[in-house]
Amino acid sequence: MKKILIANRGEIAVRVMTTAKKMGITTVAVYSSADKFAPHVLLADEAYHIGDPAPSASYLDMDKIIDTAKKAGADAIHPGYGFLSENADFAQKVTDAGITFIGPSPEAMRIMGSKLAAKEAVSKYGTPMIPGSDGSITDPKLAAEIAKQIGFPVLIKASAGGGGKGMRIVWKEEDIESQMDRAISEAISAFGDGSVFVEKYVASPRHIEFQVLADQHGNYRHIFERECSVQRRHQKVIEEAPSTVLNEKTRKEMGEVAVNVARACDYVGAGTVEFLLDEDKNYYFLEMNTRLQVEHPVTEMITGLDLVEEQIHIARGEKIKWAQEDISIRGHSLELRIYAEDPSENFMPGTGWLSAFELPDLTGVRLDAGYQSGMDVPVYYDPLLGKLISYGADREGAINIMLNALKNFKIIGVPSTVGFGAFVFSHPAFISGNFDTHFVENYFTTEQIETLRQGEYSELAAQLGLQIYLTEKKQLRIP
């Protein structure tokens, strides 16, 4: 494998190219008209224009990307995340064109791309799952019967897709029909698939996911967990590794379950198995993401592994070179997704001229970015500007390093989530580790963000938060 085309843009394209170059592999970028001078284009050894700014005319055009790979003489295509990364048809077309797809097989993607098919596949391993319907449902009366059996509240959920679309919480029987209609309509609109199912609603969950790797020789590994409970609109904004709530016994159990989920679909490559953890520390399989996750850097920081490098080795047909017992957790890592969003306006995306995007070199800080000062932030794509990652010997140290980095991060020209990140990392609930997926709705208000604007939040807040953390750590014996 001597040349890889990265079928993506932004920070993930830069991220993949950085590792490929380190491995001596030639990199090929594709770009839309809006990204002509983007960092991933400038970093690549070769770059090809593939269309207008709209994703459908560029980054989602399978045939253009594959034709470009052929033209460039690329041996492989890395899809990154988003866009076509979990599109089984694209993976099949790439393979049929005689090009290596750096990811799982199309069949594995199809199985795990359907929540119902995934549940069926993993059931043979006795995987813990949230109580609910065995298959898709269209009859409100049947849904009501299932809901009464498992107990309200319940969640009506689209089988395809994610990101909170096609999802409705139902608290009482008389609302089943109307909420089903809405969930089905939204699922059809978002995913072209109206299949929905019913499951028990876990009221105060933690969102825990396990990184897995599998090679073409039947070797499966997990690389510990990531805590992803701080979310807005059902989408992650802050991640960390390891989680504060897992002990070694539960970590080992969940890791083994995650590996079996990968086995259930003959998985190859890097993937993520997601779980919900309830208040009683019971865990349930949620879904599997068949790609590299946005938050993969925190796993890299605590293990020393390069997950993109591992992906490439596996795609080459090589065996995983290390045993499960060879890796261990070292230190603690946090990640903040830096979005061009205004937290005081319900995280409304913003666009404009990025006159400043600057972070000084700091110990224990990593910035994976797809933008730089002097660039335009267009309206066509996800508003993720980059990811700020901190690493410390322990969680307290990682929080301190993150807060210092946020204080020194200068972003001018578009709104950003830097101030929001400062709010979260200095909040007593986060510092204590006592939070769940409702953190934002429980604690965040627009008034608070006004006092935590970039460069303006108080040192006292961080000091007070850490004092609370140390007190609660001693009382709760948080590892």
- What is the residue extent of each domain of the chain? 3-102, 131-200, 206-476
- Tokens standing for 54? 């709209």
* C-beta of residue 260 within 8 angstroms of C-beta of residue 194: no
433 pLDDT higher than 60: yes
pLDDT, mean of residues 442-460: 63
453 pLDDT higher than 60: no
Residue-wise pLDDT tens digits, 244-262? 999 999 999 999 999 999 9
pLDDT at position 195 is: 86
pLDDT at position 442 is: 93
- Give the domain 3-102 fold: Rossmann fold (3.40.50)
Residue-wise pLDDT tens digits, 86-131? 999 999 999 999 999 999 999 999 999 998 899 999 999 999 999 9
pLDDT at position 162 is: 65
* pTM for this entry: 0.89
Tell the residue number behind the tokens 């904004």, with chain if given: 237
Identify the band that residue 447 occupies on the pLDDT scale cut at 50, 70 and 90: confident
85 pLDDT higher than 80: yes
Q: What are phi and psi of 155, to 5 degrees?
A: -115, 125
Residue-wise pLDDT tens digits, 370-379? 999 999 999 9
Question: What is the three-class DSSP state of 259?
Answer: helix
Q: What are phi and psi of 281, to 5 degrees?
A: 70, 20
Per the model's pLDDT, the better-predicted residue between 457 and 236 turns out to be 236
CB atoms within 10 A of CB 261: 28
Identify the band that residue 452 occupies on the pLDDT scale cut at 50, 70 and 90: low
Identify the band that residue 476 occupies on the pLDDT scale cut at 50, 70 and 90: very low
The CATH classification of domain 206-476, taken from the options 3.30.470.20, 3.40.800.10, 3.40.50.300, 3.40.50.970: 3.30.470.20
User: Please, where are the H alpha helices in 23-130?
Assistant: 39-43, 62-72, 88-96, 106-113, 115-122
Identify the band that residue 473 occupies on the pLDDT scale cut at 50, 70 and 90: low
- Tokens standing for 437? 């997926």
pLDDT, mean of residues 218-233: 96
The C-alpha atoms of residue 49 and residue 51 are separated, in whole angstroms, by: 6
Q: Which helix (H) or strand (E) holds 74?
A: none
Beta strands at 332-339 and 235-241: parallel, antiparallel or unpaired: antiparallel
Residue 74: left if φ>0, alpha if ψ -120 to 50, beta else—which one? beta
The C-alpha atoms of residue 255 and residue 174 are separated, in whole angstroms, by: 40
Per the model's pLDDT, the better-predicted residue between 201 and 115 turns out to be 201
Write down the mean pLDDT value for the chain. Answer: 92
pLDDT, mean of residues 14-32: 98
What's the distance, CA 286 to chain centroid?
A: 14
The CATH classification of domain 131-200, taken from the options 3.20.19.10, 3.40.50.300, 3.40.50.620, 3.30.1490.20: 3.30.1490.20
pLDDT at position 457 is: 46
Question: What is the three-class DSSP state of 476?
Answer: helix
Residue-wise pLDDT tens digits, 31-67? 999 999 999 999 999 999 999 999 999 999 999 999 9
pLDDT at position 465 is: 52
Residue-wise pLDDT tens digits, 272-317? 999 999 999 999 999 999 999 999 999 999 999 999 999 999 999 9
Q: Which residues are catalytic?
A: 291
User: Would you say how long the chain is, in residues?
Assistant: 479
CB atoms within 10 A of CB 10: 24
* C-beta of residue 417 within 8 angstroms of C-beta of residue 409: no
Residue-wise pLDDT tens digits, 384-428? 999 999 999 999 999 999 999 999 999 999 999 999 999 999 999
- Distances in whole angstroms, Cα of residue 263 to Cα of each of 214, 219, 256, 259, 360: 9, 9, 11, 6, 43
CB contact set of 309 (below 8 Å; sequence gap of 6+): 19, 22, 23
Q: Which helix (H) or strand (E) holds 394?
A: none
